[in-house]
Structure 1
Amino acid sequence: MHYSMLEMAFAGHVATVTLNRPDVRNAFNETTIAELTDVFAKLNAREDVRAIVLAANGPAFCAGADLNWMKKMAAFSDEENRVDARRLADMLAAIYRVSKPVVARVSGDAFAGGVGLVAACDIVVAVDSARFCLSEARLGLIAATIAPYVVRALGERASRRYFTTAEPFDCATAQRLGLVHEMATADTLDATIQKITAALCANGPQAVRESKRLVQDVAGCPLDEALIDDTARRIARIRASDEGREGVASFLEKRAPAWRD
């Protein structure tokens, strides 16, 4: 995998995708969007990849949209703008829907669309000095394409405030609101990421994929007979799977399961 805006690295069953435009605070343009969409589609298809880390080079994680790209978009027709916006929406969906868990390594500030990238990930570890800001309203814009992910992460009440005020908030606030799972110092950030990815890779790969999907499918659903039946079907199916049988057998036999290599 070779990209102009991204760096790729593999260690064991973990793939690391690194935004590599530090000179513009890793702001994304049409090329970054296309490359991120492509790489997550490719990683989704790889059986050897069990977890993905989304990282960034330089002092900022992501400043959102590149201003030169935004300036060019201002001259687009309504239809061109819609097509362009849909590409951004599809990129976020590719990150959110990838079957492997995605861990955001937030080593610096995340603004505007950068907050969307963070919110689309499953697990977020951020350096304690990181700041977050939904800054779109300052520019007369709205955080539309990132809203489905940010509102899920922050909740409706906090989203009402930060979407409309465009106030920056610190990492401790982001953790309190649910956007960030763990804070770390710059010195402990990588160790924290490694601990989480090791835990992910120790579990059954199919179980991890199905657990991610389960949360996405169940969240917000009414607790009705259809949901109860669906969850019963899911556990019955995975109990009878090769991985489920191996997991139970290895536990009873007091040995490591076959997927731990």
Structure 2
Amino acid sequence: MQPQRITSLLQGVADVRNWIVRHIPLTESMVGYDLFLKLGNDFFAGQELQLKSIYAELPYTEKTIRAQIDKMKEAGLVVQQATGMDGRTHKLVPTTKFIALLQQYHRKFESLFILRKGLRDQQLLVDTTNPKLKQLAETLYDHFYDLGWLYLYNYGGICFLAASLVQRVARAYGHDARVESGYVDIQREGVQFLLGGKGYAAPGQIEGHAMCVIDDSLVLDFGLGNVRKGFRRDFPWALGCAYQSTENALGSMVLPTGETVTWKNDWQTPDGEAELQKYAPFVEQLFQHYVAHFG
């Protein structure tokens, strides 16, 4: 990551912290700050704010946490209620004042940072038991998205370019990566869609499809733009599955929506190598742009 990006990130974190101290009562200390975030997160996650759990999960003594809770009660941020038949256990309930402050904090945070995970979970599905390769796929998605390669320039609709970009960046991160040619077979409840299948090219397009194989362990495909165009508009922008080469396929996965997606290579377009050569100079230009942003 470039130093200027680190500086910008740290400035954003400091801005949020300073805003909290100015606007959220009792957060000038770390225990107050951590308790505010802990209560807010658990409350919106639908969890009961049991005192016993709060004491156990925060890195402070019970005495310190209890003193901070007393201050929050006095400030009208939380109320304490007995629970259970014997009334010996207690929970905290945030007040409307607390909830309003938490919503203000959420808006402040969103104004400085993109909440990435929810969007990524919709648009990138990776089925692998290798945590490093899953992290690589997520990093590529995040960076390609930031550069506009996925939605602004729609490189996902040019599969040989997309696969070459994945290969180039993966190699820069120290991985063994290669582009494979073939096609994608998508099936669900008797309906079949072939991406890059022989005889399925639209006017002006070539037959065939390209994907990237990384470390002989992961098939990663960022070139699914035409699936969203011709099969389902909310289809993921990128998919990854375990590389399990057979005589006619590289790998397969089942999506949460029911489709079985198989990357096949029993037929390969004769135009594949020419396509890769055509985009090679452009890939290097884009890679330099990538390096300028992310180091």
Q: What's the TM-score bracket when you normalise by the shorter of the two chains?
A: under 0.3
Q: Which has the higher strand share?
A: 2
TM-score by length of 1: 0.24
Higher Rg of the two aligned structures: 2
- Using structure 2 for the length normalisation, give the TM-score: 0.22
